[in-house]
Amino acid sequence: MSGAPSDVRFPAAWTGLRVVLGHDWLTGLRGGERVLELLARAFPEAPIVTLLYNPVALPPTLRGRAILASPLQRLPAVHRYYRRLLPLFPAAVAALRAPPADLLLTTSHCAIKALRPPPGAVHLCYCFTPMRYIWTFPDEYLGRAGRTVLAPLLGALRHWDRATAARVDRFVTLSRHVRERIWDCYERDTDVVHPPVRLDFFTPGPAVGAPAGAYDLVVAALVPYKRVDLAVRLYSRTGRSLWIVGDGSEERALRRIAGPSVRFLARVGDDELRDLYRGCRCLVFPGEEDFGLAPVEAQACGRPVVAYARGGAAESVVDGETGVLFQPQTEEALAAALERFERMRFDAAVLRRNAERFGPQPFVDGLGRAIADCLALRRTGS
């Protein structure tokens, strides 16, 4: 599953526009790369500037595209350990040169938003979030001991990240939650355009492999801030069936605390993921996400969501109508939310209509307005 539905309409003003796309790195196909795929389809001649990429991991839609990488690309097998090179990212970005263009359009959660636009171009950044490593979750990524040792470096990186935000003429982000974070980090106003969800693929349908409602589902990377441990502990205690899709650094620890009712599925293909959504009783989403595609994908498949009431899920889940929101972020609050969920009934058609707010066409329309406003700055010279 890649690209965008064939019926997505791109603005006529984009035709003939010279665009350079920027993306932090290309090492896999996740939510950020889905956004890039759609933009690559909208601007088929646009080169992509990035810190590094793994040719084997490129989706078919990006193969054959002109890709300009930083000197980090020359390091052997760099795609296996690039996250450890965080202190080198500022120098790597500084070494990049964007080709001539009218518009530099970056999609960034890390460093590529610091790329200097070519002369005469305007820079619009679709910012998934300011760098989590240095602003939001440094303990989760570095550990408390690592954060203490690297405190001077983190301070320097924050200064660099804030200063290079001035290279962006206009910020767009994926949720109101991240808009507040961008203001806190950069003191910049931001448009909100929710990211595109493949509504043509994630649809209600017959369950495959298990009766509908036989299990509850988690779809998440198994890293600390996702708080999958809350669900694992609760379902292990209650004996209720929980299936988990995802892998990551916390998998071994989660398996140690999991009871026999918790099943780990690691990574699955798109077709299997859709079947899992369709067959579950609900999606459990205990983490604080910038947006979170999984809750929208589940609703698009006609399944409700039980989610922590912060972050993007608070914007995509309608409490009492398409799911249940809970707080605080504790096992007890999750248990209470599930008890409330079990007393409710949900209409799959209502769930689907709510998900349709987050399709590719609303994304393209919203981004098109932001690009038009950004280009107006170039015309006026302001």
CA–CA distance, 26 with 36 (Å, rounded to integer): 10
CATH dotted code for 216-357 = 3.40.50.2000
Q: For residue range 163-211, list pLDDT tens digits in order.
A: 999 999 999 999 999 999 999 999 999 999 999 999 999 999 875 555 5
Query: 134, 110 in Cβ contact below 8 A?
Result: no
Burial track 201-217 (b if 16+ CB lie within 10 A, e otherwise): ebeeeebeeeeeeebbb
CA–CA distance, 107 with 190 (Å, rounded to integer): 14
Residue that the structure tokens 């679709």 belong to: 126
| Residue 142 three-state SS | helix
CA–CA distance, 284 with 218 (Å, rounded to integer): 5
CA–CA distance, 336 with 325 (Å, rounded to integer): 10
pTM confidence score: 0.88
328 cis-preceded (ω within 30 degrees of 0): yes
Query: 197, 31 in Cβ contact below 8 A?
Result: no
Q: For residue range 259-290, list pLDDT tens digits in order.
A: 999 999 988 999 999 999 999 999 999 999 99
| Residue 217 three-state SS | strand
Instruction: Name the superfamily (CATH) of residues 12-196+359-380.
Output: Glycogen Phosphorylase B; (3.40.50.2000)
pLDDT at 2 over 60: no
**12-196+359-380 matches 216-357 in fold:** yes
CA–CA distance, 77 with 59 (Å, rounded to integer): 19
Burial track 173-196 (b if 16+ CB lie within 10 A, e otherwise): bbbebbbebbeebbebebbebbbb
Tokens of 213: 């409602």
CA–CA distance, 276 with 301 (Å, rounded to integer): 10
**Nearest to 171, CA basis, from 148, 190, 185, 156:** 190
How many other C-beta atoms lie within 10 A of the C-beta of residue 81? 10
Helix/strand/coil (H, E, C) string of 285-300? Answer: ECCCECCCHHHHHHHH
Q: For residue range 80-131, list pLDDT tens digits in order.
A: 999 889 899 999 999 999 999 999 999 999 999 999 999 999 999 999 999 9
Sorted by where each begins, the domain ranges of the chain are 12-196+359-380, 216-357
| pLDDT at residue 83, as a whole number | 85
Q: Of how many residues is the chain composed?
A: 382
358 to 128, 274, 278, 303: CA distances (angstroms):
15, 17, 19, 16
| pLDDT at residue 64, as a whole number | 87
